[in-house]
Amino acid sequence: MLNDRPISLKREEQAHRKDFKKKMRVATLSIAALVVLGGMIWAYMYSSTEEKTSNNQVISRSGIHWHSNLSINTKGETVPFPSNVGLGAVHNPIHTHDSDGAIHMEFEGRVTEKDTELKKFFEVWGKDFSKDSLLGNVTGAEGKVIMFVNGKENLEFENYYMKDGDKIELKFE
């Protein structure tokens, strides 16, 4: 009997060690899985929050090739539209080819709404445009800036996100 007791204790200890190792492996793998899952959730939430708080929604991750049409009228006169705005030694993604009023938006890779803001075209062109000013004409006694998008008045002015097929009219009256 004395010999049986140590052998059974030894087997019991081995069984306990084996169970302990098994439980530790399961616990380690579970913790690792939770850490990975938590990291993925954090990364998703962080990128979504960043885009939402900056009002800069991603509209494409593989580029766009859009065209909006712009016409400008100041005090009853049509403003001639320049060709090749944004083209030259450096090819700007927002540009014109002809004087027909077509604004080309040709972006590669990730594109956000902010990339398509109407003010970006005016920056490339080197002209002023806002709710208070259009090509040197300032809102006041002489008139005000009015904007239409697809036939409807729009109050977003320089902050308007252009879309494919838009017909944008700017007037100073």
CA atoms within 13 A on the CB side of 4: 1
Q: Architecture of domain 58-172 in CATH? A: Beta Complex (2.170)
- From residue 103, give the alpha-carbon distance in Å to each of 48, 55, 144: 30, 23, 24
pTM here? 0.69
Residue 161 has pLDDT above 90, yes or no: yes
Given this model, what pLDDT does residue 133 score? 97
90 compared with 127, residue with greater pLDDT: 127
Q: What is the pLDDT of residue 45?
A: 64
Q: How far is CA 33 from the centre of its chain?
A: 31
Residue 47: both structure tokens together: 């990128």
Q: Minimal CA–CA distance to 59: which of 20, 109, 94?
A: 109
Tell which wins on pLDDT, 64 or 37. Answer: 64
Task: Measure the CA–CA gap between 173 and 171, rounded to whole angstroms.
Answer: 6
Taking alpha carbons only, the member of 105, 96, 16 closest to residue 59 is: 105
Which is more confident, 16 or 103? 103
Tens of pLDDT along 47-86?
A: 544 444 456 799 999 999 999 999 999 999 999 988 999 9
Instruction: Give the Å distances, CA to CA, from 53 to 37, 48, 82, 113, 124.
Output: 24, 9, 36, 13, 26
What are the boundaries of each domain within the chain?
A: 1-53, 58-172
Residue with more model confidence, 151 or 3: 151
Q: What is the average pLDDT value for the chain, to the nearest integer?
A: 88
Region of poorest pLDDT, from 40-44, 102-106, 153-157:
40-44
pLDDT band at 38 (very low <50, low <70, confident <90, very high): confident
pLDDT, residue 23, reads: 86
CA gap 38, 117 in Å, rounded? 35
Q: What is the pLDDT of residue 53?
A: 42
* CA atoms of 130 and 156, how far apart (whole Å): 9
Average pLDDT (30-41) is 84
**43-54, pLDDT tens digit by residue?**
766 554 444 445
